[in-house]
Each structure stands twice: as structure tokens, then as C-alpha cells.
Structure 1
């Protein structure tokens, strides 16, 4: 027995229809892998934090040992890492 993937849709009555009308769906045993419905970004809901809430980012960075240097020293260090 060989395996073949065919993109199909299942209607409300449970009948299987090939998405590409040129492909015939053979009768016989098959493995079915249902796919989750596609969701839009709006359906996913709002992000946990507002993107404009920069105060939490600043607080996290100020507590980091990597960001306790003067700003110019940080800039020089980051630039030198890429050389």
C-alpha cells in the first residue's frame, strides 16, 4: 500500500471532496488529519501587553547588568561586537 496526500474538504454531511477537481479521491481506507481552522489576527485576541507600554521594557533593561554602562560605552561595545 502506498501513501498519497490529497487536499480535501469535508462537507456538513461528511462527504469528502477534493479541493483540486482534477484529482480523484479513491475509494478505500484512508488516514484523516483534520486541520485547525485558519484564524485571523483579530480572532487571536489582543496581545498580553500593549505594544505602547514601553515602561515595562525600560524597567527590564535598566535592571540588566548589560545596560548599566554609560550609553556611549554600550553603543561602542555593541558596534565592536560586529567587527
Structure 2
């Protein structure tokens, strides 16, 4: 997971960012390529909400699907694997 610095604090680089029910979430890939971290972006800080384990090479992208909030999953070859709802 890459980081940038904002006001002298390390901030993760997000693969995707989405708003859901007036909350903003960011998804950052783990350095190992075998996971993602879901953060909630708050006014003053960033809070870790979940760690998602995946098979190496799997790509996740945040998505809203009607009232559902979750991740769209793509395998290492770019094939669409579907949508997984997150409990948020």
C-alpha cells in the first residue's frame, strides 16, 4: 500500500473512493497484493473499517448498487467476478 503525506501524517493511496449515505470510503490495496483496507474518510482523520483478504492478483473497486454498498470483484485476468455487499 502506497502512502502520501498530508499535514505531516501518512495517508494511504486509494484505489477507489465512493460516498454512501453521506459517508466517504476509500479502498487501498495491501503491499502484498493479497488484501485491501477499507477506510472511512472523516473530517479530521481516516479510520480503518475493514481488511478484506483476496487471492493475489484480484482487483476490487468500491461500488454502490442501489441501496447496497460493496466491492466489485475482478480476477487477475480482468474477468468480472461480481459484486459483494459490505456490511456498512
| Higher relative strand content | 2
Q: Which TM-score band applies after superposition, normalised by the shorter structure?
A: under 0.3
| Larger RCO (alpha carbons 8 Å, 6+ apart) | 2
TM-score normalized by the length of structure 1: 0.20
| Higher relative helix content | 1
